[in-house]
């Protein structure tokens, strides 16, 4: 096993570095290897978003409010855009990555990796200018250490987590690291958690109360881990105890991001995997309840409205299951509220808003469901294929497909298309609101979109 690697870190001593005209190289020694931290000169932006709200924050996958922008921070977003319209800046990315950016106080962080998976990077961007503050190689892998992945995936799909002082990045079993948000300096890293993701890593970390939660649901091993977010030490590890009904590892893997909810005054860590969703005590890792199903490779994050959980069961024939989370033990037959098998996608996470669930199928069919009973209110085809999760911001729904088309629709019981926009490349990452601007990552670039 590789040891936990720690660095002393005092947030107050780390100041935002000024960017010089030349590239500065800061060499860090990590596990006996030297990786450069690059501070890249800021380029002159075409337009400076002087109204960019530096207090805007989007700290993790799907933000802090389940992909719904804070209405007090985001009051308007662009309705129309293209490569030549309402683009404040565009930053071309160097490598491949599907991770969504996270945002804190005027900066964004995301990850990328070489196509062969041998090099894995974290990047910090200044949102005012689109310039790279730092770009750091986190992990170097030997070619024979890297497993093949699905053509639709990459080696940098999990979204980071940031709290202003630190940023946590994960590449699944290839490694997880905690970095100083301002400089990219390593605080700790873990590379000792085995898991054959088979199709590549996908689950994003979840941060709460000093604990970092991660899923490792692979072809070979399946478990959940809680780390001490400041030190990287394992607080608990819970092996999945699921009857998969097969010895085919392809039906044991999953790519879900967990969700923390509160039930009767106590927290539960909701953790979908293949063939089941389990609720754990987030402090001890002990199982509270489970619901079994037939599907595998669960990918979408759960939804919760304060009373009912909504679980996407994954691949095979995805279903949306509504669950009462107040039970104990195996509650498959007692606590399912309803099941909806129609119009449910396997990859994008649905969006829950004002009693309605908005879902986009991988094939491009959008559906609005009643959260009370799962009944379908409307169905509409949006052209293209989808992996990105829909966003609700400034009273509109934003959907991005694999071809670079961004659809803007009106939420409600009647489908209404407001705009259809096109960028040069497609989206696998989910869009992020930054005040009254929209941060969009395509396969090849990062954009800040907004009214000029």
Q: Average of pLDDT values for 132-161?
A: 92
Query: What digits encode the pLDDT tens for the residues 14-49?
Result: 333 333 333 333 333 334 344 444 444 333 444 555
Mean predicted confidence (pLDDT) in 389-408: 98
What are the residue boundaries of the structural domains of the chain, listed by start? 5-449
Q: Is the pLDDT of residue 4 over 80?
A: no
Q: What is the pLDDT of residue 51?
A: 65
Tens of pLDDT, residue by residue over 359-388, are 999 999 999 999 999 999 999 999 899 999
Distance (Å, whole) CA 349 – CA 268: 20
Q: Percentage of the chain with pLDDT > 90? A: 80
Give tens-digit pLDDT for 241-260: 999 989 888 899 999 999 99
Q: Average model confidence (pLDDT) for the chain?
A: 90
Q: Is the pLDDT of residue 288 over 80?
A: yes
Q: Which two tokens stand for residue 145?
A: 């250490």
* pLDDT grade for 50, boundaries at 50, 70 and 90: low
Domain 5-449 architecture:
7 Propeller (2.130)
For residue 150, what pLDDT band results from cuts at 50, 70 and 90? confident
pTM, two decimal places: 0.89
| Percentage of the chain exceeding pLDDT 70 | 89
Could you read off the pLDDT of 224-233 as tens digits, one per residue?
Answer: 999 999 999 9
Q: Residues 58-62: what's their mean pLDDT?
A: 98
Question: What's the Cα-to-Cα distance from 192 to each of 31, 199, 232, 315, 325, rounded to whole Å?
Answer: 13, 20, 11, 29, 33
pLDDT digits (tens, 9 = 90+) for 173-204: 999 999 999 999 999 999 999 999 988 899 99
Q: Cα–Cα distance between 158 and 160 in angstroms, integer?
A: 7
State the CB neighbour count (10 A cutoff) for residue 12.
6
> pLDDT value at position 343?
85
Contacts of 68 (CB under 8 A, 6+ apart): 351, 353, 391, 392, 393
């Amino acid at each position: 096993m590789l040891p936990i690697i720690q660095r002393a870190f005092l947030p107050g001593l780390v100041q935002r570095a000024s960017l010089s005209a030349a590239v500065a190289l800061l060499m860090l020694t990590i596990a006996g290897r030297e990786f450069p931290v690059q501070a890249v000169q800021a380029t002159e932006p075409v337009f400076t978003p002087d109204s960019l709200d530096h207090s805007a924050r989007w700290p993790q996958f799907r933000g802090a409010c389940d992909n719904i922008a804070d209405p007090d921070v985001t009051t308007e977003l662009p309705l129309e855009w293209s490569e030549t319209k309402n683009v404040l800046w565009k930053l071309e990315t160097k490598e491949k990555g599907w991770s969504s950016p996270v945002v804190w106080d005027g900066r964004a962080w995301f990850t990328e990796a070489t196509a062969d998976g041998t090099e894995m990077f974290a990047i910090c961007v200044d949102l005012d200018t689109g310039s790279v503050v730092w770009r750091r190689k986190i992990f170097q892998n030997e070619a024979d250490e890297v497993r093949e992945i699905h053509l639709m995936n990459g080696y940098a799909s999990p979204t980071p987590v940031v709290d202003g002082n630190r940023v946590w990045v994960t590449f699944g079993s290839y490694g997880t690291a905690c970095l100083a948000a301002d400089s990219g300096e390593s605080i700790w890293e873990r590379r000792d958690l085995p898991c054959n993701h088979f199709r590549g890593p996908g689950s994003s970390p979840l941060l709460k109360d000093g604990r970092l939660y991660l899923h490792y649901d692979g072809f070979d091993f399946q478990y959940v881990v809680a780390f001490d977010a400041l030190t990287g030490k394992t607080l608990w590890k819970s092996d999945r105890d699921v009857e998969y009904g097969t010895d085919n590892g392809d039906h044991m893997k999953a790519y879900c991001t967990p969700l923390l909810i509160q039930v009767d005054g106590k927290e539960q860590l909701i953790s979908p995997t293949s063939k089941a969703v389990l609720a754990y005590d987030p402090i001890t890792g002990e199982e509270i309840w489970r619901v079994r199903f037939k599907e595998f490779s669960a990918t979408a994050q759960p939804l919760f409205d304060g009373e009912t959980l909504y679980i996407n069961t994954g691949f095979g024939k995805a279903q949306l299951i509504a669950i009462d989370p107040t039970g104990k033990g195996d509650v498959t037959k007692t606590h399912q509220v309803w099941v909806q098998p129609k119009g449910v996608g396997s990859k994008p996470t649905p969006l829950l808003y004002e009693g309605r669930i908005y879902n986009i199928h991988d094939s491009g069919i959008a559906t609005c469901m009643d959260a009370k009973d799962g009944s379908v209110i409307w169905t509409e085809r949006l052209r293209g294929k989808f992996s990105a999760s829909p966003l609700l911001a400034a009273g509109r729904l934003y959907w991005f497909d694999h071809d670079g088309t961004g659809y803007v629709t009106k939420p409600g019981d009647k489908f209404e298309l407001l705009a259809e926009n096109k960028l040069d490349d497609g989206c696998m990452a989910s869009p992020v609101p930054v005040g009254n601007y929209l941060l969009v990552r395509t396969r090849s670039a990062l954009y800040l979109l907004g009214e000029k």
